[in-house]
A = this chain, B = another copy of it.
Amino acid sequence: MKTGARILVIDDEKSIRRFMDASLTAKGYTVLPAKTAAEGLKVAAEEHPDVILLDLNLPDKDGLAVLKGIRDFSAVPVIILTVKSSDADKELLLDSGADDYLTKPFSLTELLARIRVALRHSVNLREDVAFRHGPLEIDFSTRKVLVGGEEVHLTATEFNLLKALVSHAGKVITQTQLLSEVWGPHAVEQSHYLRIYVSQLRRKLESKSPELQGFIITDPGVGYRARV
């Protein structure tokens, strides 16, 4: 769903950058590393990352200055990482525009959860198009589907099926899985539902844009998948 968010990691310690890179990449994020305050600011301005992790102890400039520099041109969520933990420090940083503050040592689990919160915020501020493929745009929160900018009306069941397909986009989803996700576990035998609704979905999507021909692929005897 929120695949491949881009995370800028500003930290002078090589070991931390490598740890972050490994941990975050494993979760499907793209990591932009920066060794110094100056480099961090530059990357932030040029690459427009989705979240910034900022270490406070930088050699060339202190973290507060970096934070303020970023805030001059962007509202991107910034999470502060530091060993310091005095209340006054936290207060100052948070009031200067930081979105969160983690004191080392922190657990990776918590960091990842905090990143997801930060991403939620930045997604809310954007057009929250959660899925996009060619002319097809799907907003899961508002259940709106656009093809080539034009709205396509889908019934509740049609939308649920499309959602199930694209939220595992690229991977085959078995008929059993689809039936149980969309109609409920009692309907796992009713494979004809799938044939009917897949057919309707294809008709509605392809009539708006021929590009979407072949978007929903049948895997005979197994299930269906949406092309990525």
> A residues near B, CB below 8 A?
75, 87-88, 90-91, 94-95, 98-100, 107, 109-110, 112-114, 116-117, 121, 124-125, 139, 141-144, 155-157, 159, 168, 170-172, 219-222, 225
Provided the pairs A107-B87, A172-B142, A220-B155 are in contact, do residues A113 and B95 lie with their beta carbons within 8 angstroms?
A: yes
Q: Would you list 22 pairs from A and B whose C-beta atoms are within 8 A, ordered by A residue?
A: A88-B109, A90-B109, A90-B113, A91-B109, A91-B110, A91-B113, A95-B113, A95-B116, A98-B117, A100-B117, A124-B125, A141-B171, A142-B168, A143-B172, A143-B219, A144-B171, A155-B220, A155-B221, A156-B220, A156-B221, A156-B222, A157-B221
Q: Chain B contacts of A75 at CB under 8 A?
A: 124
Q: Distance (Å) between the CB of A132 and the closest chain B CB?
A: 17
Q: Which residue of B lies closest to A156 (CB)?
A: B221
The 10 A-B pairs with the shortest beta carbon distances in the complex, nearest first, are A142-B171, A156-B221, A94-B113, A87-B109, A91-B113, A87-B107, A143-B172, A142-B172, A94-B117, A156-B222
In the assembled complex, the Cα of A139 lies from the Cα of B171 at a distance in Å of 9
- List the B side residues contacting A159 at CB < 8 Å: 222
